[in-house]
Structure 1
Amino acid sequence: MVSLGGLARKIFGSANDRRVRSYRSRVDAINALEESMAALSDEALAAKTVEFREQLANGKTLDDLLVPAFAVVREGARRVLGLRPFDVQLIGGMILHEKSIAEMKTGEGKTLVATLPVYLNALAGKGVHVVTVNDYLAKRDSVTMGRLYGFLGLTTGVIVHGLSDEERREAYNRDITYATNNELGFDYLRDNMKYDRGQMVQRGHSFAIVDEVDSILVDEARTPLIISGPLDDRSDLYNTIDAFIPMLAEGDYEIDEKQRSANFSEEGTEKLENLLKEAGLLKGQSLYDVENVAIVHHINNALKAHKLFQRDKDYIVRNDEIVIIDEFTGRMMPGRRYSEGQHQALEAKEKVTIQPENQTLAQVTFQNYFRMYDKLAGMTGTASTEAEEFGNIYGLEVVEVPTNLPIQRLDEDDEVYRTAEEKYEAIIEEIKAAHERGQPVLVGTTSIEKSELLADRLKRTGFQNFQVLNARYHEQEAYIVSQAGVPGAVTIATNMAGRGTDIQLGGNPEMRIERELGDLEPGPERDAREKAILEEIKVAKGKALAAGGLYVIASERHESRRIDNQLRGRSGRQGDPGRSKFYLSLQDDLMRIFGSDRMDSMLTKLGLKEGEAIVHPWINKALERAQKKVEARNFDIRKNLLKYDDVLNDQRKVIFEQRLELMESTNISETAADMRNEVIENLVATHIPERAYAEQWDAKGLKEQVARILNLDLPIDEWAKEEGIAEDDIRERVTGAVEKATADRAERFGPEIMTYVERSVILQTLDHLWREHIVNLDHLRSVIGFRGYAQRDPLQEYKSEAFELFQALLANLREAVTTQLMRVELVREAAPEPPPLPQMQAHHLDPTTGEDEFAASAITADDGPVVDPENRDPKNPTTWGKIGRNEFCPCGSGKKYKHCHGAFEQA
C-alpha cells in the first residue's frame, strides 16, 4: 500500500526534483546563447566582463546577469580548458549562486561547476573565496581555473602556508582567492590582533564556496582554530598555591582515581578561602565568585598534581624538567607538556624551574567563521545525510544534482563475519580474485592503523602489487588516486574525502602527461609521446570496463553513512560500470557498540561455520539505523558546543568591531575622555554614595584612589569639610583637575603623538584583557557542568557568568587605560612604529585522530620560507625552509620531522 506522501512524490516529484526542474528554463536560455557566444572573438568574449560590470554599476543585479554570465564562462571553459560544462553542471552553479549546497557525485566536475558562480559573483568586485581542504588543491585549482578567469579578465590569488603578510594582502585583493579553511581562519584571527588597519590582510567576507563542505563544516567543526603564545612568568602564583595543598587534611578533598578527578569538600573550600585571603589572592568573599574562576582552576590543578599524579609512574623528573610517561607504552615523551597549567602545577610540586604557560591569544570555530560571510555556499558528493545540520546551523539547503549519465554501479549487500580474522581473509581473497581478472580495486579503511594492518596481511600472502594511501603527502597521493583505475591496480586508502582527484578508468591522462612529459619542451617528440599515452589509456580503459569497472571494497562501516557514501561514490563515475561491497565483523567498533554479543550467540546457535558470512538486506537496514543514531548524537554534541561557543562569539564580535573602530578613528581622544569620565563617575559614586550625609563620605579613600588611578594628589579630604559642598561639586573638581592634566600632556606631546599614544594604550590593554578573558571563559566552561547537580541549567549559568565577566573586562579596561594615560610620558620623538605581534603558534586538532595538524609550528611571518620538497637537499638542512612538525623529515629517514631533526632542535 502506497502512503499519501509516496503517491504525491510519484505524481509531482520530491521537493528536490521540483527545485531542480525550476532551473531548466534558465539552462535553456543559456543554451540558446551558445551559438552567439561561440561566434565571438577571444577579445570580444573577454570584453563581456567589462560590459557586465558596467551593467551592475547601472543598477542591474547579479541574478539579472546569471544567464549571459554563465554562457560566457561555458564558452571560455571550452576554449581555455577544453571542457564544456554539462547542463547539470549549470544547475549546480545556480544552486551555489543561491546560497545552497550542491550535492554532486564524484566525477561530475565540481571544480568546473564552481567557476560559474565564482565568475558571476566576482563581477561585484568584493572578492570571492574558494575554500579547499589542503594546500595542494588550493594551488592546483587556482592555477588551472586561474587560466579561465585570466582569459575573462579577472585576477586570481592563492593563500597557502608560509606566505608573508604582503603576499597574503595581495592575494586577498584579487577578484578570486583560493585558500584552505585553516589559512582563512588564522588570517582572520591574526588580522584582529594587529594595531594598524593597513597591516590587515583580509578585506571582508562577501562570498565563499566551500569545497568538501561536509568535511569542513561538519567533521572539522568540532575543534576550534587556536592561536597561542607564551604567557608572562607566573611562577610565584604556582608556588604560592602549591604550598597550600600540604596544609589540607584528608577530609578536605575527594579523589576519584577511576575518573581522574579531584574536588574540594566544603571544609577544604573554607580552609582554602582563608589561605587565599591571607595571600591576597581572593577577590570578594567566596572562592566561587565569578572573579576567582582562574584561581579555582589553578588550585584544582595543584590538588591533582599532589593527589592524582604519581612521580615515576605518570612522570619523571630529569634535568630540571618534568617528563611525561605514556600510560600505554610506559615510554618517556620528552617535549610533550600537559595543557591548561597542569604541567606548571607539577613543576611547582617537584620544585623544578616553572616553564611559561602557553595562553590562547585568539580562537574561532569554523562554524562561527564561515557564518560571517554575507553569502555562503558549498559542494560535496555527500551532504544529504547531514541536511538537518546544514539547515539549522548555517541556513544552507542541500540540493541533490542529477548525474550527467545514469549511475550503473552495483551496491551489494554487506557480508558479516563473526571475527575480524575471518573478515580480513575474505577481503584478501576478493582482492586477489579481482586483480586476476584485471579489475581495479579500491580498498577503504577507517584508520591508518587498519590500512597498515591490511597491507601487512597482503604482503604475508605474497601479494605485493598494491599502493597504500594515508593522507600524508597530498600531491603524491593525488597522482596515485588518479591512476587507481588502471586495470588490476589495488589501492588501499584511509578516508577518501577531499582528495580532489576522481578515479578515471584506465588512468587520468592529464596527470600522467604532466608527470611523464612535464620537463619536455612542446614539439613533435612531445606530441608523439602524448598521443601514445592517450592511446595506452584508451586500451586500458577498455580492459577495466570489460572487467566490471572500479570495485570498491570497504573493510568496515564508518559511524557516519556520509563517509561510507564517499567511498562508494568513487566507483561508477560518469555512467561507468562499478561495484561496491562492505565486509564487516562482529568485532568492528560499530557492531560492538550496537549489541553484537547477542548476535554472536545467535549466529553460533544457528550453526554459522568459520569463514562463512551472513548476507541479508535486513542487516544493511539495521546498520543504517545504528548509524543514524550515532549521527544524531554527534549532531547534538556539535549543536551543544556551538551554543557555548556562540556566547564567546558574540563577545568576540563586539571586541573585534571595537578594535576596528579604534584603528579607523581619527579622533581617539573622545573615546579616552569617555573612559576617564566613567572611571571618575564610578570612583565618586563608590566613595560618596547618593543621598549620603557628609559624615558618611569616604573622602580619604577617594583621595587614595584618585592618586592611584588618576595620578593626582588632590585635597579631597579638605573639600569634604567645606560647608554645603555636594557630591556633584567634588565630581566636577576631580574632572576639572583631570582634564587640565590631560590638556597639558596633549600640548606637550602634540596632537599626532597623543592620538598614537591613546590608540596604542587602548588597543594593547584591550588585547591583554581579552586574552585573559578567553582563558577565564575556558576555565568557567570546564567547571560549569557541575551546576547541573543543583538543578540549574549549565548553559544559562554560563551565559550569565560570561556576561558578568565581560562587564568586568570593560570596567577593567576603562580603569587600566585611564591609569596608563594619566602616567604616560614621552621618551622619544621619532615616528612611532606599530608594535609587533607576539610570537604565535597555530593549533587545530584533527577530530578523527586527535593530532594537532600544525603541531605547534610558529605562524609569525618571519619563521622562514616554505620550500618545495623537490628543492630540498636531504644532506643540507639550510635548504629545507619551514617544515611542518608532522611532515616526513627531508633527510630521508622515513620518520616524521618531529621525531627526527625536529626532535634534535627541541633538545
Structure 2
Amino acid sequence: MFGGLARRLFGSSNERLVKAMRPRVAAIQALEPEIQKLTDEQLRAKTSEFREQLAAGKSLDDLLVPAFATVREAARRVLGQRHFDVQMMGGITLHEGRIAEMKTGEGKTLVSTLAAYLNALAGKGVHVVTVNDYLAQRDSGWMGRIHGFLGLSVGVIVHGLDDDERREAYACDITYATNNELGFDYLRDNMKYDVRAMVQRGHAYAIIDEVDSILVDEARTPLIISGPVEDRSELYLQVDDLIPLLVAEDYEVDEKQRTTTLTEAGNEHIERMLEEAGLLKGDNLYDVENVTVVHHVTQALRAHKLFQKDKDYIVKGDEVVIIDEFTGRMMPGRRYSEGLHQALEAKERVKIQPENQTLASITFQNYFRMYEKLAGMTGTAMTEADELLDIYGLEVVEIPTNLPVARKDDDDEVYRTAGEKEKAIIELIRDCKERGQPILVGTTSIEKSEQLSEALKRAKIEHQVLNARYHEQEAHIVADAGVPGAVTIATNMAGRGTDIQLGGNLEMRLERELGDMEPGPERDAREAEIKADIAAKKKIALDAGGLFVVGTERHESRRIDNQLRGRSGRQGDPGRSHFFLSLQDDLMRIFGSERIDGMLQRLGIEEGEAIVHPWVNKALEKAQKKVEARNFDIRKNLLKYDNVMNDQRKAVFEQRLEFLQTDSIAQAIEEMRHDTIEDIVARHIPENAYPEQWDSQGLEDEVRDVLNLDLPVVQWAAEEGIADEEIRERLTKAADAAAAERAERFGPDITAQIEKAVLLQTLDHLWREHLATLDHLRQVVGLRGYAQRDPLNEYKSEAFELFQTMLTRLRETVTAQLMRVELVQSPPPLAGEDLPEMHAVHQDPQTGENELAFAEAVAAFESGAVGAAAAAAVDPNDSSTWTRTPRNADCPCGSGKKYKHCHGRLA
C-alpha cells in the first residue's frame, strides 16, 4: 500500500530516471542551432576538439551534451535521420552503463551511435555487439557512415576473417561484431604463442543490441572451442537399436525439466540388452568402466523421447538440422553437444559426424562481465530486469516512445480444444482479409505453422508461410507482410530486428523490381509509381486498423510473446494483438489444464465458446513467470559452476600472457624445477620419518625418470646423520648444474625459445585435459545430492584439488622434458606454432547452439561453395534443378546476372 502511495507521489524509479535525463536532452536541443551553422569540416573537427578536452582532464560526462548534439547533426546530414529526443534519452542510458528498453520501430540502431561515438573518443575501443553477421555488416556500413563522417574509424568482425583482418578491425575506434565472434577471438587469443598474434586489445566498453537475446537466451549456452576426437559412430548405432525395445514402464519423461530417466525396471532391462549385445563390461551398468556406455544410453533415450522431428529438428538430405526454439529458423552447421546430435543422427539413420573435445570454454556471462562498462538495448527486457541486474549489474530503463502506442492488446481467448481454436483463428483471418487489414499469425513451431497453413489452404485463404523451411525467402515475405489483406504465418516471428511496414517495404520493392534497371528517367518514373502505390496501400492498411497480430498459443517466455506483439503499432501506427489458446497447448497442458477442463465442462461451456477474461491473462502470466524463473535458475546454476572454472581460467590465461610477454622465463623454469624436486623428495621421504623408513630406491628411480640424472641416492641415504634437507640440496645442485650446462651448449636465445615452447604447449595440453575432467565431474556431481551433500560445494572442492594436481603435473612434465631436450636443429619461431583444429560450439543440454558453424555454412551456401555434390545438383541444361542455386551465385542460364536477379527472382 505504502509502495503504491510513494509511486503516486514521487513516480516510479523508472519515471525518476527518465525525468533526470530531461535537462540534458534540453541542453542538447539548445545547442542544435549553433551546431547546424557549422560547415562539414568544422563539424568533423569537433572530434579532435573533444579528444583534446579529454586529454586536458575533462570527463566523458562533461562532453556528453556537445558530443550528442554533434552526432545528431552528423546523422541528419549523412543519413537524413535526426535523432528524436527519446532517442537522446536512450543514448544517455547506454552511456551510463544501463539497458535501454525501446519499443520496436523506435530506432535503437540509430541510438547506439550516440554512446558509441562519445565512448570512442577515449581511444580504448568500443564494441557494438549484434546477434548475427548480417546485422553486424549492415549496421557497420549504415551507422558507420556517421562515425566515418566525424573522423572515427569503424571495423566489423564477421565469420571467415583472418587474424590480420580481425586485428585491424579491433584496432578501430568502433568495432561491430557478434557475441560469438568476440568470445571466440578471446578464447583463441589465449591459445596463441605470440602476443603479436593476438587480435583483441582489451574490453573497455560494449553496447549489446538485442541484449536480452544475448545475455539471457544465449547465456544458457557456453561458448566452447572444440576439436575432433576419435569416431564412435558404431556404438551410437548399437545403443540406438536398443531404445525402441524399451517399454513405457522403463523410463520417465519430465517435459517441464526436459529430462528423461530410466526407472529401476528400465535399468535392469537395458543392462540385459547391453550384455546380450556385448556392450557391457562387468556385471553392472554403473561400473566405472561403463561410463561411456551409460552416457550413450542417456543421450539415445533423450533423442527418442524428448526430441521431436519437425519441431526440435528436421532431416535435410543426410543431416539432422536443429530448429532454433526462439526463432523457428533452421540452423545448418549448429550441433547439439555431449553426443546428443550423434544420438539424433543414429535415430534418423543419417551419417554420424565425429564428436568433439573441449579446447577452451567460457559463458557469455563471464565474457561480458570482463568489460569495464557494459550497456544494452532491446524492445523487451523488463520481464528479465531482475536477472540482468542480479548477474550483470545492469539496470533496465524503459524509454518512452516518440509517439504514443496506439496498438490495442485484447484479452486472450481460451478454447477447450485445438480444433475449436483453429476455427476461431481462421474466421478472424478471413474477416481481416476481407477488410484489407494485414495480419501476422505467430506460431510456436514449424509443425504448427504448417498445420495452420493446411487449414487455410482448405479454407481457400491465400497466405505466406515464414518458418525454417522457407528461410531463404524471409526478407521478401516480411517486406510484403504489411500489404493490405496480406496473411503471414510466422514461427516465433522467425528472428528479430524485422520491421513490417504498412503498405509494403519501399527498399525491398525497389531492389526486387528495379534491381537491374539502369539509372535514368524511366527508372525515376517507375520509382515514383512504386512510392505512390505503397502510400496508397498504407492508407488502406491504416484505415483497416493497422497490422493485426495473432498468437496461436502462448510461448513459455513472455518476451517472445511481447516480441510478436511489438511487430504491430510502430511509431504511433494503429494496430491490434490477440492471442488464442486451447487447453491442449503445451503451456496449458503442463500447468494443469485437466482441472480447468473439468471445471469448464461443469459450467456447461459449449463447443466453439471461449473464455475471455483479464483473470485468465493473469493466470497465464503467472505460469509464464514460473517457467521464466526456472530458466533463470538454470542459467544462474550454470554460472555458479562456470564461476569455479572462470577463476581457474583467469589464473591460467593471466599466467600464460605473462609468460608470452616475458623475453626469458628462466626464473619460472628454475622455480618449477626446484618445486618438482621438493615434491619428489616429499613423496619418498615422509616428514619426521627415520632414514630406515625412507623409500631411497623409489627416490633414485624417480630422479632418473623425471630429472634424467643418474645419482647414487641410495648411497646418500645410507650416510650417517644425513637429513632430507641435504638430499634435497644435492638433487637441486645436480639438476641446476645439468640445466646450466645444457643452456650453455644451446646458447641463451635458443634456450629461452625452447623453454617457452615446452612450457606453453604443456600448459595448453594439460588445461584441455583439465577442462574435459571438469566436464565429466559436472555431469556426475549432481548425484552427491542423494548423499545429502551440496553438489556445488563438492564441485568447488574437487575442482580445486584437480587444479592443484594439474599444476603439479605441469611442473613435473615441463621439468622432465627440459632435462631431456637435445638440439638436432634450430627450433622454428614460437609464433609459427599452429593452433589445433578448432571450431566454436555452444554447449547446452537443451539447445546446444553452434552459431559460428552456422555462419560458415551460410557463407558457403551464399558464395556457392557448397561442395561438388551441391554444384552437380544444379544442371545448366535442366531448369527444374535451378531452384537449388544459391541466391548470390551466377544464374545457371548464362545471363551473367545473379540468380536472385534472374531466374531466382521472387514473383
* TM-score grouping bracket, smaller chain normalisation: 0.7 to 0.9
Render the CA deviation track for 1:156-210: whole Å, top value 9, x for unaligned: 1111222222222222221111111222222222222221212222222111111
Task: State the partner residue of 2:569.
Answer: 572
Displacement of 1:230 after TM fit? 2.5
Task: State the partner residue of 2:876.
Answer: none
Render the CA deviation track for 1:647-694: whole Å, top value 9, x for unaligned: 111111111111111111112111111111100111122222343333
Amino acid at match of 1:631: E
Q: 1:846 to 1:211 in 2, by over 3 A?
A: farther
Residue of 690, 700, 705 corresponding to 1:703: 700
Displacement of 1:30 after TM fit? 0.5
C-alpha separation between the residues in 2 aligned to 1:209 and 1:114? 7
Residue of 187, 201, 204 corresponding to 1:203: 201
Residue of 10, 13, 16 corresponding to 1:12: 10
Aligned residues of 1:150 and 1:156 also touching (Cα < 8 A)? yes
Task: State the partner residue of 1:49.
Answer: 47
Residue of 691, 713, 717 corresponding to 2:714: 717
Residue of 727, 733, 750 corresponding to 2:730: 733
C-alpha separation between the residues in 2 aligned to 1:191 and 1:102? 31
Task: State the partner residue of 2:835.
Answer: 837
Task: State the partner residue of 1:797.
Answer: 794
| Bigger shift: residues 827-836 or 738-747 | 827-836
Question: Any idea what SS the aligned residue of 1:23 has?
Answer: helix
Task: State the partner residue of 1:494.
Answer: 491
Amino acid at match of 1:300: V
Task: State the partner residue of 1:146.
Answer: 144
Task: State the partner residue of 1:769.
Answer: 766
Aligned residues of 2:754 and 2:827 also touching (Cα < 8 A)? no
Displacement of 1:499 after TM fit? 2.6
Aligned residues of 2:155 and 2:174 also touching (Cα < 8 A)? yes
| Bigger shift: residues 534-543 or 105-114 | 534-543
Task: State the partner residue of 1:542.
Answer: 539
Task: State the partner residue of 1:115.
Answer: 113
Residue of 852, 862, 867 corresponding to 1:869: 862
Q: 1:28 to 1:296 in 2, by over 3 A?
A: farther
Question: Any idea what SS the aligned residue of 1:49 has?
Answer: helix
Residue of 366, 373, 376 corresponding to 2:374: 376
Aligned residues of 2:440 and 2:490 also touching (Cα < 8 A)? yes
Amino acid at match of 2:650: K
C-alpha separation between the residues in 1 aligned to 2:471 and 2:297? 45
Amino acid at match of 1:164: D
Question: Any idea what SS the aligned residue of 1:413 has?
Answer: coil
Residue of 374, 383, 386 corresponding to 2:384: 386
Displacement of 1:567 after TM fit? 1.0
Residue of 340, 359, 362 corresponding to 2:360: 362
For structure 1, which runs of at least 5 residues remain unmatched after alignment?
243-254, 265-280, 282-294, 315-324, 346-353, 881-888, 897-907
Task: State the partner residue of 1:102.
Answer: 100
Displacement of 1:341 after TM fit? 7.8
For structure 2, which runs of at least 5 residues remain unmatched after alignment?
239-248, 253-259, 266-280, 321-334, 344-351, 874-879, 888-907
Render the CA deviation track for 1:64-105: whole Å, top value 9, x for unaligned: 111111000000000001100000000000001111110000
Q: 1:703 to 1:307 in 2, by over 3 A?
A: same
Amino acid at match of 1:793: D
Aligned residues of 2:468 and 2:494 also touching (Cα < 8 A)? no
Q: 1:548 to 1:76 in 2, by over 3 A?
A: same
Amino acid at match of 2:541: A
Task: State the partner residue of 2:57.
Answer: 59
Render the CA deviation track for 1:698-722: whole Å, top value 9, x for unaligned: 2221111110001111111222233
Amino acid at match of 2:357: Q
Render the CA deviation track for 1:511-534: whole Å, top value 9, x for unaligned: 333444444455444433333322
Please give the residue correspondences for 1:499-898 in structure 2 after superposition, counting only pairs within 5 Å.
Answer: 499-829=496-826, 831-833=828-830, 834-844=832-842, 850=847, 852-853=849-850, 866=859, 869=862, 892-893=883-884
Displacement of 1:847 after TM fit? 8.2
**Is 1:428 matched up with 2:426?**
yes
| Bigger shift: residues 102-111 or 182-191 | 182-191
Amino acid at match of 2:47: T
Aligned residues of 1:297 and 1:779 also touching (Cα < 8 A)? no
Task: State the partner residue of 1:72.
Answer: 70
Task: State the partner residue of 2:33.
Answer: 35
Residue of 275, 298, 301 corresponding to 2:292: 301
Render the CA deviation track for 1:591-623: whole Å, top value 9, x for unaligned: 112221122122222222222212111111111
Displacement of 1:507 after TM fit? 2.2
C-alpha separation between the residues in 2 aligned to 1:146 and 1:333? 40
Question: Any idea what SS the aligned residue of 1:559 has?
Answer: coil
Amino acid at match of 1:869: E
Task: State the partner residue of 1:186.
Answer: 184
Task: State the partner residue of 1:289.
Answer: none
Question: Any idea what SS the aligned residue of 2:575 has?
Answer: strand
Residue of 392, 395, 408 corresponding to 2:393: 395
Q: 1:865 to 1:541 in 2, by over 3 A?
A: closer
Aligned residues of 1:129 and 1:177 also touching (Cα < 8 A)? yes
Render the CA deviation track for 1:571-607: whole Å, top value 9, x for unaligned: 1111111111001111011111222112212222222
Amino acid at match of 1:589: D
Displacement of 1:216 after TM fit? 1.2
C-alpha separation between the residues in 2 aligned to 1:200 and 1:865? 27
C-alpha separation between the residues in 1 aligned to 2:848 and 2:812? 41
Question: Any idea what SS the aligned residue of 1:820 has?
Answer: helix
Aligned residues of 1:136 and 1:474 also touching (Cα < 8 A)? no
Render the CA deviation track for 1:378-426: whole Å, top value 9, x for unaligned: 1111111111100101100010000011111111111111111111111
| Bigger shift: residues 782-791 or 336-345 | 336-345
**Is 1:82 matched up with 2:80?**
yes
Task: State the partner residue of 2:126.
Answer: 128
Displacement of 1:211 after TM fit? 0.9
Amino acid at match of 2:595: R
Aligned residues of 2:222 and 2:844 also touching (Cα < 8 A)? no
Q: 1:34 to 1:476 in 2, by over 3 A?
A: farther
Aligned residues of 2:676 and 2:812 also touching (Cα < 8 A)? yes
Superposed CA RMSD in Å reads 3.6
Task: State the partner residue of 1:408.
Answer: 406
Render the CA deviation track for 1:199-229: whole Å, top value 9, x for unaligned: 2222221111111111111112112122211
C-alpha separation between the residues in 2 aligned to 1:895 and 1:416? 43
C-alpha separation between the residues in 2 aligned to 1:51 and 1:690? 69
Q: 1:474 to 1:113 in 2, by over 3 A?
A: farther
C-alpha separation between the residues in 1 aligned to 2:121 and 2:205? 12
Aligned residues of 2:337 and 2:842 also touching (Cα < 8 A)? no
Question: Any idea what SS the aligned residue of 2:72 has?
Answer: helix
Question: Any idea what SS the aligned residue of 2:143 has?
Answer: helix
C-alpha separation between the residues in 2 aligned to 1:263 and 1:737? 61
Aligned length: 814
Question: Any idea what SS the aligned residue of 1:496 has?
Answer: helix
Task: State the partner residue of 2:348.
Answer: none
Aligned residues of 1:110 and 1:379 also touching (Cα < 8 A)? yes
Per the normalisation by structure 1, the TM-score is 0.83
Please give the residue correspondences for 1:244-259 in structure 2 after superposition, counting only pairs within 5 Å.
Answer: none
Displacement of 1:558 after TM fit? 1.0
Amino acid at match of 2:415: Y
Per the normalisation by structure 2, the TM-score is 0.83
C-alpha separation between the residues in 1 aligned to 2:206 and 2:467? 29
**Is 1:165 matched up with 2:156?**
no
Task: State the partner residue of 2:153.
Answer: 155
C-alpha separation between the residues in 2 aligned to 1:496 and 1:422? 24
